[in-house]
């Protein structure tokens, strides 16, 4: 099994560069090539069709006005179904940015090839079964080869993971609970997501029994609650109707790989706007739940994403204009015990609010978080966990300057307030 060697032809290989998300990742790497080790970056596009990859490179060269990309950036042909092609790809790079999804179908051969051939692997997966399966199967192997396999480095879950770490770092005392509220604002053109994510959700829902079995195999016990336990809410929350979001992956994966996990209770909510949106979401959820159970129903959901998701997912994905008008705000409300107060006694007596805001989350912010994750791995090996392994973003980037890097690239972390009930 190869270990990581620094003198490889490429710092970064964008695999799946011809996909909807891949093309944004390509542009983001091109924009930030100067942030590579010692101020430059050698990088390549990879995928199964040379022709489509050439098209993506051409488009990036045009839209960024960087004609030099056509000669400076190489193309590697590799297919998930061809293990040799994956091995050859991985042997050439230090970090593979894997944009080929749904990961439940295509992800594992890439993780395996990266570990066997000494390349770090970063993905933007939001599928708990894949993320946790990789942790169970490959963590020890990745440790042996010194490879970092870091899942969910897109909008799901870098803002949540790094937001909690930011909140914890700014809280003076013991932070014991955090609730986050996500709101997405769209412009006059509206917004949507590409249907690959819709497909990931359908297959994930249909196979949720396997996820339960996998979690049993893991046998993780919930972390002990520090401080007062807090209740989940489903109702109205500061002008937005909030629905609970399943952030098990964030909560559990953040805990899996750190030796001293932050023992913070965490619940994530998504603002869904007004009552009409809530009704749509409820009806859509019911249809999804019903059709997702049967093969024929799933076929219908996959064939007509636009109809069954009420326009939230489309085969063509959002237009550039829609993305320009879209932004997100993720607000964290934390509570805990001020310095000098014992968490085992009484109610929490201090509060904190932090926020992250940024551009369109699904593709613009996602490509920023993915590329900055890779740049952090390349530039700050001394701040990563000592050995390789399969990690969540919070676990691997806790000691790095990733938050600072994200701040510089449009994901702005702020601290609206810190309050102590004993203070002024």
Ligand X SMILES: NC(=O)c1ccc[n+]([C@@H]2O[C@H](COP(=O)([O-])OP(=O)(O)OC[C@H]3O[C@@H](n4cnc5c(N)ncnc54)[C@H](OP(=O)(O)O)[C@@H]3O)[C@@H](O)[C@H]2O)c1
Nearer to ligand X by Cβ, of 226 and 377: the residue is 377
Task: Give the pairing type, strands 43-47 and 74-77.
Answer: parallel
Work out which of 21, 92, 167, 309 binds ligand X, going by CB under 6 A: 21
Q: How far apart are the first and last CA of the chain?
A: 60
Q: Which of 174, 118, 184, 121 is nearest to 331 (CA)?
A: 184
- 101 scored as a contact of ligand X (CB under 6 A): yes
Nearer to ligand X by Cβ, of 100 and 356: the residue is 100
| DSSP character string of 390-405 | EE-HHHHHTTSSHHHH
- For the bound state, the minimum distance from the C-beta of residue 45 to ligand X, rounded and expressed in Å, comes to 10
- 328 scored as a contact of ligand X (CB under 6 A): no
- For the bound state, the minimum distance from the C-beta of residue 119 to ligand X, rounded and expressed in Å, comes to 16
Place of tokens 């997702």: 292
- For the bound state, the minimum distance from the C-beta of residue 23 to ligand X, rounded and expressed in Å, comes to 8
Work out which of 8, 52, 245, 315 binds ligand X, going by CB under 6 A: 52
- 227 scored as a contact of ligand X (CB under 6 A): no
Place of tokens 């994200």: 406
Contact present, 92 and 76 (Cβ < 8 Å): yes
- For the bound state, the minimum distance from the C-beta of residue 185 to ligand X, rounded and expressed in Å, comes to 17
Q: What is the CA radius of gyration of the chain?
A: 21
- 16 scored as a contact of ligand X (CB under 6 A): yes
Interface with ligand X in residues 360-389 (CB under 6 A) = 362, 366
| Residues in CB range of 19: below 8 A, 6 or more apart | 47, 99, 100, 101, 196
Nearer to ligand X by Cβ, of 21 and 92: the residue is 21
Nearer to ligand X by Cβ, of 25 and 338: the residue is 25
Work out which of 48, 170, 215, 280 binds ligand X, going by CB under 6 A: 48
- 18 scored as a contact of ligand X (CB under 6 A): yes
Number of residues that bind ligand X (CB under 6 A): 31
- CA atoms within 13 A of residue 380's CA, in its CB half-sphere: 18
- For the bound state, the minimum distance from the C-beta of residue 241 to ligand X, rounded and expressed in Å, comes to 22
CA distances in angstroms from 259 to 247, 385, 396, listed in the order given: 21, 10, 11
Work out which of 102, 262, 271, 358 binds ligand X, going by CB under 6 A: 102
Q: Which of 111, 115, 109 is nearest to 2 (CA)?
A: 115
- 331 scored as a contact of ligand X (CB under 6 A): no
- 100 scored as a contact of ligand X (CB under 6 A): yes
Closest-approach residue to ligand X (CB)? 101
- 54 scored as a contact of ligand X (CB under 6 A): no
Element (H, E) at 378: helix 366-379
- Two tokens at 210? 């396997």
Residue 3 burial (CB count, 10 A): 11
Interface with ligand X in residues 64-83 (CB under 6 A) = 79-81
- 47 scored as a contact of ligand X (CB under 6 A): yes
Work out which of 43, 103, 332, 397 binds ligand X, going by CB under 6 A: 103
Nearer to ligand X by Cβ, of 38 and 81: the residue is 81
| Residues in CB range of 296: below 8 A, 6 or more apart | none
Please identify, among the stretches 19-27, 159-167, 181-189, 244-252, the one whose residues bind ligand X according to the rule CB under 6 A. 19-27
- Two tokens at 301? 């959901």
- CA atoms within 13 A of residue 37's CA, in its CB half-sphere: 16
Contact present, 74 and 10 (Cβ < 8 Å): yes
- Helix, strand and coil in the chain, % to nearest 5: 45, 25, 30
Interface with ligand X in residues 148-207 (CB under 6 A) = 152, 154-156, 194, 196-197, 200
- For the bound state, the minimum distance from the C-beta of residue 17 to ligand X, rounded and expressed in Å, comes to 6
* Interface ranges with ligand X (CB under 6 A): 16, 18-22, 47-49, 52, 79-81, 99-103, 106, 124, 126, 152, 154-156, 194, 196-197, 200, 362, 366
């Amino acid at each position: 099994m190869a270990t990581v060697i620094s003198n490889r032809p490429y710092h970064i290989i964008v695999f799946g560069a011809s996909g909807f998300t891949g093309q944004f990742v390509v542009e983001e790497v091109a924009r930030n090539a100067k942030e590579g080790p010692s101020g430059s970056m050698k990088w390549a596009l990879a995928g199964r069709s040379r022709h489509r990859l050439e098209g993506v490179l051409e488009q990036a060269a045009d839209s960024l006005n960087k004609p030099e990309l056509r000669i400076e950036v190489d193309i590697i042909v590799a297919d998930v179904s061809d293990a040799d092609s994956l091995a050859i790809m991985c042997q050439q790079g230090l970090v593979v940015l894997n944009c080929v999804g749904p990961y439940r179908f295509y992800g594992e051969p890439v993780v395996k090839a990266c570990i066997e051939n000494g390349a770090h692997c970063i993905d933007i997966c939001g599928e708990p079964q894949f993320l946790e399966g990789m942790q169970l199967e490959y963590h020890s192997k990745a440790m042996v080869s010194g490879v970092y396999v870091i899942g969910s480095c897109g909008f799901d879950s870098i803002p949540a993971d790094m937001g909690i770490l930011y909140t914890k770092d700014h809280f003076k005392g013991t932070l014991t609970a955090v609730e986050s509220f996500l709101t997405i604002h769209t412009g006059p053109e509206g917004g949507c997501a590409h249907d690959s994510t819709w497909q990931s959700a359908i297959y994930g829902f249909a196979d949720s029994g396997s996820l339960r079995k996998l979690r049993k195999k893991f046998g993780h016990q919930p972390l002990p609650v520090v401080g007062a336990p807090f209740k989940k809410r489903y109702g109205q929350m500061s002008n937005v109707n909030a629905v609970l979001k399943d952030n098990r992956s964030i909560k559990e994966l953040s805990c899996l790989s750190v030796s001293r996990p932050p023992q913070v209770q965490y619940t994530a909510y998504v603002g869904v706007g007004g009552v009409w949106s809530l009704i749509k979401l409820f009806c859509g959820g019911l249809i999804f739940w019903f059709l997702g159970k049967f093969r024929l129903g799933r076929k219908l959901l996959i064939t007509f994403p636009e109809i069954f998701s009420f326009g939230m997912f489309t085969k063509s994905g959002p237009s550039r204009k829609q993305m320009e008008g879209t932004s997100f705000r993720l607000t964290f409300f934390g509570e805990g015990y001020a310095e000098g107060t014992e968490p085992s006694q009484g109610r929490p007596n201090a509060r904190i609010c932090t926020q992250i805001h940024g551009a369109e989350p699904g593709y613009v912010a996602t490509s920023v978080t993915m590329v900055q994750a890779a740049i952090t791995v390349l530039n700050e090996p001394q701040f990563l966990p000592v050995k390789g392994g399969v990690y969540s973003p919070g676990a691997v980037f806790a000691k790095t300057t990733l938050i600072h890097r994200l701040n510089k690239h449009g994901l702005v972390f702020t601290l609206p307030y810190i309050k102590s009930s004993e203070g002024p």
